Each structure stands twice: as C-alpha cells, then as structure tokens.
Structure 1
Amino acid sequence: MPTPHRTSLAEIIDAGRSLLESAGLSGLTMQAVADRVGVRAPSLYKRVSNRRELIALVAEATVRDLGDRLDAAVDGEPDPRAALAALAREARSFARERPVAFGLVFAPGVDVDLDPESLARASATVVRLAGELAGEERALDAARTVTAWLNGFVGMELSGAFRLGGEVDRAFEFGIDTLTGALARGT
C-alpha cells in the first residue's frame, strides 16, 4: 500500500513563496521546502518534478496573487486615470511586501517558465485601463509603457538607487499623474 501524501501542492507552493522572500532564489531548494512543510525531500517529488518546476509554480502563484490584488485595487473605480493610479500603487505595495517574488516575475535575466494564460489574466486589467486611456489600438503599447515605468521605478526604489534626496513617494505620484495624463492625451 502506498504511503499517504503528507503535504499538498498548495502547502509546497506557500512554503516556496515564503522561502523565496526569506532566503532568496538560491535558498528556494527542494530540501528547504521539504524541511518547511515537514517531509523528506524525496516526498516532494510526488507533487513537483524538480526545482525548475517548483520555481515556476512559485512564480505562477505570484502572478495570480498580483493579478488578484490589481483587480481588487481598481474594483468599482469608474475613472480610468484614477483606476490606473490605484493599480500602480497596489503593484508598488505588492513589490514592497514581496520584493524577491516581484523580481522573479519582472527582473531581466530570470529564466522562469510562466503560463501565458496566467500572464494574460494578470495583465488584463492594466491592458484594459491603458486601452481606455490611449485607445484600444494602443492598449498593449500603453500597458507596456505603464509596466516598464512602474517596474523601473519600483526596481530603483527597492535597490536604494534614488540617492539625490527628495520625497520618493511624491516622485511616484508625479510619475503616475504624468503617465496617466500623457496616455489620456494620446487618444
């Protein structure tokens, strides 16, 4: 009779997400996850075939979580400029709470397989709002511009690269206002 599974895939992914933030990508190992969920490492292979799949599952969970939070941040906001600003603030908040996971999904040079459907779902709100501001024919271009600015700003903030003084929060709000205004004027 086979031994029962002592952990679930959801528990493995949750442990992986926690380890990612506390130990970085190099600390996200099958052994570390096994220790966290209280099983021996070989037991994980019943649910996850290898470390690469584990990293992909953690990244997928991150993308879904971020997408859900972005959707919730704009829920009920009829003004696309205000909604896009709320979305940007929520993405920044997410990045501050989960900087390593944010980097896993957005940093250049990180080789992780992400499901195209998950990415499309997580991106749907920013694409929709960008289309409302810049026009449907430019929706993807505008969404990419917003995402690039946001990722660049947050990346610099998280790495401590804003060294000239001044208020970073004020600069962020200036960026949101300028970007959403420019997109709206482009229609």
Structure 2
Amino acid sequence: MPTPERTSVSAIVAAGQHILENDGLGAVTMAAVAARVGVRAPSLYKRVRNRDELIRLLAERVAADLGAHLAANDPGGPDTRARLARIVRALRDFARERTAAYRLVFLPPSEHDDLSRDDLASASAPLFDIVARLVEPDHVLPAARTLTAWATGFIAMELSGSFRLGGDVDTAFEYGIERVSAAVTSPAH
C-alpha cells in the first residue's frame, strides 16, 4: 500500500508565503518550508524541484494576489482617472501590507526564475484595462509602463525610508498620481 501524501504544492506555497511575509525572502528555505508543513525537507523535492522553483511558485502566487487586489479595488464607473488613482493607491497599500511579497514580484528577473508573461499580464490586467480608456490603443503599453515605473519608484523610496526632506508623503503620492495620469492621458480622452 502506498504511503499517504503528507503535503501538496499548494500547502508548500502557502507555507513559503507565510515565511516570506513574516521573515523575508532569505528565510524561505526548503528546510524552513518543510518544517512549516510538517515534513522532512527531502519530502518537498517530490513536489518542488528546488528553492528556485519554490521562489518562482511564490512569485506566481503573489502576482495572482496582487492582480486580484488591484481588481477588487477598481470601483468601476465613468471617471477613468479616479479609477486609475484607486488602482495605484491599491498597489501602494499592497506594498505596505505585504512588503516582502511585493518586493518579490518587482525583483529583477535575475534574482529568481522570471514570472511568465501570462502571470505578469494577469497581475497587470486591472491597470491595463483602465489605461486603455485613457490613451490611444498603440500607447497602452508605454503609458502603463510609465505609470508603473513612477508608482513602483515612489513606493520603493517610501519603503526604504528615502523621503527625508520633510513634507507629507501622502500628499506627494496623490500629487504624483494626478500629474502622471494627466501626462499619459491622450488629448482625445
């Protein structure tokens, strides 16, 4: 009679996600995940090839979570720039609430197995849907990249404590949303 399965890929990913968000990426090891799911480390290798694959699976899960978070924060309605502002605020909220997870998605690809284009597209879909209402069809990708670059740069500086000149960071963030969204919006929109 075969031995019963003691863990699953979803349990392994959930354990890795818990460790990531509580202790950081460096703490996500095969041994730590195995201990969290209640098996010995060699048992994990039946489900996950190595730590790189585990990190890729975590990044996929976080990208899906991020996409769902952004979609849940889109109020809909005719005011497209207000919708965009809400999505960008949701990105910032996600980064503040789940900093290690957020950083995992935005690490350079050399730091972990790259997310697939499908995973990235899915996570970005709420932003692309709104941007497509603000710009001409051939400008959607450049506009979305511009918005994302500004937002992730601002968020990275905020998370690292780099805003040291005083002033209200929340006010600066709102100013940035307004100005960058106005800058990328096509005149016809």
Correspondence for 1:59: 59
Counterpart-to-counterpart distance in 2, 1:19 and 1:186: 47
Unaligned stretches of 5+ in structure 2?
none
The correspondence of residues 164-175 of structure 1 with structure 2, limited to 5 A, is 164-175=165-176
SS at match of 1:165: coil
Equivalent runs, 1:65-104 vs 2, <5 Å: 65-104=65-104
Distance 2:73 2:31 in 1: 36
Q: Given that residues 131 and 137 in structure 1 are in contact (C-alpha distance below 8 angstroms), is that contact kept between their aligned partners in structure 2?
A: no
Corresponding residue number in structure 2 for 1:33: 33
Structure 1 window deviating more from structure 2 (24-33 vs 155-164): it is 24-33
User: Once structures 1 and 2 are overlaid, which stretch shifts more, 107-116 or 67-76?
Assistant: 107-116
Q: Displacement of 1:186 after TM fit?
A: 4.5
Matched, 1:118 2:105: no
| Closer, same or farther: CA 151–6 of 1 in aligned 2, 3 Å | same
Cross-structure match for 1:2 = 2
TM-superposed CA distance for 1:9, in Å, is 1.6
CA distances 1:16-38 after superposition (whole Å, capped 9, x unpaired): 11111222222110100011111
Decide which structure has greater helix share: 1
Match of 1:105 in 2: 105
Q: Name the counterpart of 2:155.
A: 154
Provide the TM-score with structure 2 as the length reference. Answer: 0.93
Q: Is the 8 A contact 2:136 2:186 kept in 1?
A: no
Q: Is the 8 A contact 2:56 2:112 kept in 1?
A: no
User: How far apart are 1:185 and its partner, in Å?
Assistant: 4.7
Aligned equivalents of 2:59, 2:77: Cα separation in 1: 28
Considering only aligned residues, what root-mean-square deviation do their CA atoms show, in Å?
1.4
Counterpart code for 1:39: V
Separation of aligned partners in 2, 1:49 and 1:39: 16
In the alignment, does 2:21 pair up with 1:21?
Answer: yes
Structure 1 vs Structure 2: percent identity of aligned residues? 53
Distance 2:187 2:180 in 1: 11
Structure 2: distance between partners of 1:17 and 1:186: 43
Count matched residues: 187
| Residue of structure 1 equivalent to 2:42 | 42
CA deviations on 1:97-152 (whole Å, 9 max, x unpaired) are: 11111111113352332122111111122122112112211000000001101100
| SS in structure 2 of the partner of residue 134 of structure 1 | coil
